[in-house]
Each structure stands twice: as structure tokens, then as C-alpha cells.
Amino acid sequence: MARNLTLRALANRIGYSPQHISEVELAQASASNAFIAACDRALGADGQLNEMLPAVVLERSLQRDARASVRRSAASVDDDVRRRAFLGLGVVAVLFGPEAAARALSDADAEQVTHEWSRALFVAPDRQALLPGLAADLRRLKANGGPQRAVALLSGYVAMIAASGGEASVSHRWWLRAQNAADVSGDVHVAAFIAGQRAVHVLYADRAPARALVLAEHALKLTAAPCAGRMHALSTVVRASAALGRQRAAREALVALERTFERLPHNITREKATVGGWAEDRLHHTHSYAAVFGGLSGGEAARDSALRLYSSAAWRGPAQVRLHQAAAEVDPQHAVATLAELSDAQRFDRSIRFAALRTLSACRARGADVAELGEAQRALRDGFPTLRWRPA
């Protein structure tokens, strides 16, 4: 009002729709850093809006955590009953035969099952320990004609576990199985999720940014709708472009990522502790990576925002961002302290090792102390544990 601007006039200045500006005003949509910065410039606020954003982010995070706590308390009993019912299908098959198991499966909520595994995969300190139970549920789903959407997601989770353990050939086979099941299901969001997640894991597990870009572009072609799969793909484009030294492409992809995030359904953005969600902390995590390893600006603010927003159940993301911080500050000791806080299984996770190795390379290139670098390398250790069990 002070600038005598209508919503449409402001929209024309900042490149966002009047509808989105209105939704932010009414607290019906989240405001990204890019949106606030654009408004600050257009309104001549001299940085005041930018300065207010961290307090808003913190308040919003606390409110979300409080709501999530209430939901978990109310749903815990029902969730436990559903989980026990599904995990009991193996007993049903043994005692009463496959027909009874098929009937039991029809009564089970496959969507709830995939969600439970999605959460378990996110919080587990040792993903490999999940393999026997996950594969058993996957076999029951396939044997009893379970929905291909669930088969695709669980197959994708097996691929993620294999990638986390450094088993590239095993993960490759399971990615293909997941993609085939997603194609059969006809659900483009699931297909995009599988393709997007595969791109992320290729970037981390294979350390192949060019190949990750190809996979991400394929995921983006599957659907233009805002969804978790599209976010994973755009995030991969940001990080892979930054790793390849393509700053302009990384910046453009980051803007696209922020704008797509603003259009994501709430059932995706509120999922902070599952691999199937895409909460705001992931947005800042991506920015942090591109800043420290690709030279983009705003890395410190992005790291601060990510660490404030992470779920208390998260460990992988916070550890990676703290490693980003060690690289930005050329502080191998900070990397050592971050790794020391992790268990052996967590330290052996491929994404953690990748982030740590990149951090040490960056510190070495920026003139870090040789003795400190050696200590950090010893903290990483050599080799990966092999997968203890491989589902056929």
C-alpha cells in the first residue's frame, strides 16, 4: 500500500503470480528465500523482509513439529495395528494357505505399508538391517497381486539400500525393477519419484554428475506436476551442475526448484521424516551443497535454515550440511567432529562418505593443515561393509 502497488503490479515486478502472493499473505503458502528477496527489492524494504524471515521459518517449524506430535500420538495405536496386520501375512500364508493371505492383503493398507518403510528408511542408522523385512513384504506383495505402485516403491527402497552400501550393480538391477513396476502401475508421480531418486543416488553413490544429469532430465520429462520426484530431479540438476562448474545452470535450476517447492501439496512438504516427502529443509540443503561445492552465493544462510528445520529424527541431512560447513570454513577438525558423532554404520553410508570426501578435497584445495586432513581421513576409514543379505 505504501508503494501504491496492487497485487498484480507487484507480481509483474517480482515474477510470481498474484495468486501466490495472496496465498503467502494469508499464510496459505510458504515463502521461499527467493520470493522474500524479490519482494524486499521490489518494495524497497532495505533488507527488512530478509531479516524477518529466519524468525518466521523457526516459528513455522515449531508449529509443524507440534502438529506432527499430536498426529503421531493420535495415530500410533491405529498404525501399530495396521503394521502388525501386514507383517502377519507371512503367518497367514503358512497356516491357512495363499488364498487366505491374498484376502488378508486386500484388507491391508498398502499405502500405509510403503509409508512405514519410507519412514524406516529415513531414520534407520543402518539401512542394510532393514533388507530382510523389506524384501519379505515385497515378496508377499508380488505373490498376492499387490498394487504395482507399492511394488515399485518397495523395489526402489531396496535399490536405495544397495546404493547406500556401495553396491552399484545390485542397486542398478533394483532401480530397473522399480521403474518397470512404476511403468506398469501407470502412476507418473511414482515413476518420477523412482527416476528422481535414482538420479540422486547416482550423484552420491557413483559420483557421476554428468550421468546424474541425464537421469534427472528423464525424470523431469515424466511429469510437469509439482511432486516429490520432480523435486528430487531438480535438486539433482542443481547439485550436478554445480559439481560440473556450470554455475548459471545451477542458479537457474535452484530458482526452478524454489518455485516448484512453493506449489507442492502440503502432504508432501509436511513429511519431514520419510524418504517420500520433500520438506523445506531439503531445499536449503540443496542450496548449501551448490554454494560450497559450486560457488553459488547464500551458502551460510542456507545451512543455518536447513539445520533449524531438520526433523529430530534426521541424521543424514544434518551430518552432510555440517560437512558442507567444514568445507566452507576450511576446517577439517569440524569434519572429524561431525564424523565422530556418527555410528560406524552411519559413517559407512555412501552419501556421508561422498560428502566427507568432497569436504576433504575442498579443504585440501583451499590450503588446510596436512595433519588435520590426515586425521579426518582416518576418521572415514577405508572400504564399505558388504550387504549382509541380498533379496533375489
Residues 316-369: tens digit of each pLDDT = 999 999 999 999 998 888 888 888 888 878 888 888 888 888 888 888 888 877
Q: In the structure, what pLDDT confidence band is assigned to residue 217 with cuts at 50, 70 and 90?
A: very high
**Confidence (pLDDT) at 245:** 92
Model confidence pLDDT, tens digit, residues 52-105: 877 777 677 667 666 666 655 544 444 444 444 444 444 444 444 444 444 444
* 169 occurs within a structural domain: no
* 180 occurs within a structural domain: no
* Same domain assignment for residues 225 and 191: yes
Whole-structure pTM value: 0.72
* Same domain assignment for residues 295 and 347: no
> Given 44, 60, 86, which residue is the final one in a domain?
86
* 209 occurs within a structural domain: yes
> Given 86, 119, 148, which residue is the final one in a domain?
86
* Same domain assignment for residues 217 and 291: yes
45 C-beta neighbours (distance < 10 Å), count? 16
Q: Quick one: average pLDDT of 292-303?
A: 91
Which CATH number goes with the domain that contains 38?
1.10.260
> Given 262, 289, 309, which residue is the final one in a domain?
309
* 182 occurs within a structural domain: no
Look at the chain and report how many structural domains it folds into. 4
Full domain range(s) for residue 364: 315-392
Give the residue from 271, 242, 273 showing the smallest Cα distance to 121.
273
* Same domain assignment for residues 18 and 59: yes
* pLDDT at 40 > cutoff 70: yes
Q: Which long-range contacts link 283-287 to residues 24+ away (Cβ below 8 Å)?
A: 283/32, 283/257, 283/258, 284/309, 285/317, 285/320, 285/321, 286/235, 286/238, 286/239, 286/254, 286/257, 287/33, 287/238, 287/254
